[in-house]
Amino acid sequence: MTWTEKIIIFAHYFSSFMATTADFKNGLYFNYEGKPVSIIWFQHVKPGKGPAFVKTKLRNLENGKILDRTFTAGEKIEPINVERRPYTYLYKDDMGYNFMHTETYEQISIPEEMVENADLMKEGQYVEMMFLADEEKCLTCELPTYVELEVTYTEPAVKGDTASSNALKAATLETGAEIMVPLFINQGDKIRVNTVDRSYGERVK
């Protein structure tokens, strides 16, 4: 094999890992300025004068921040391999939060700051982790949108408080988290909690 043939093969191999703005779609993962991002919105623009471009909203996978960025049409990007993996929360120690893969049973530990609203997570809770597969680097740890937790303390419900009331009171959950709940919720009730905004969902019967 000549050097020219080797270069052609290498170029083909390398280009197979590249993409352009023509490949943009929601959910596409790629490296942007050295950071892993995903596309959450994009729009191809063809002005009357000047070159075409693509407006995008990107989510930084490491910190969740939203970036507004514009790319020249045809600009090359470097896609990355991102995987979602299922884990079960085991316990917390000095190293952070410890989890076990639900299929391989492999255990890992991640820092506390990587788990948003971690105080809504109890032992045995199912979570999904996002990994940068080529580097085996954990990017995020996400709880389900709703979790079910028991109320361990709240002021007793007052006679006359009904489900139609919009008033709220503080409640402590079995994980130690505190959220606001309707007045009719009592200690010992199991409730569904939104892990995105920490809001009360409903009472679980």
> 42-97, pLDDT tens digit by residue?
999 998 888 999 999 999 988 889 999 999 999 999 999 999 999 999 999 998 99
Architecture of domain 3-79: Roll (2.30)
Buried b (16+ CB within 10 A) or exposed e, 55-94: ebbbbbbeeeeeeeeebeeeeebeebebeebebbbbeeee
CATH architecture group of domain 82-142: Beta Barrel (2.40)
pTM above 0.85, yes or no: no
Contacts of 22 (CB under 8 A, 6+ apart): 73, 74
Token pair in block for residue 60: 């930084």
pLDDT tens-place string over residues 146-171: 999 999 999 987 666 555 568 899 99
Question: Do 24 and 73 touch, CB atoms closer than 8 A?
Answer: no
Distance of CA 126 to the CA centre of its chain: 14
In CATH, 147-203 is 3.90.930.12: no
Domain ranges of the chain: 3-79, 82-142, 147-203
Same fold: 82-142 with 147-203: yes
List the structure tokens of 137: 């680097």
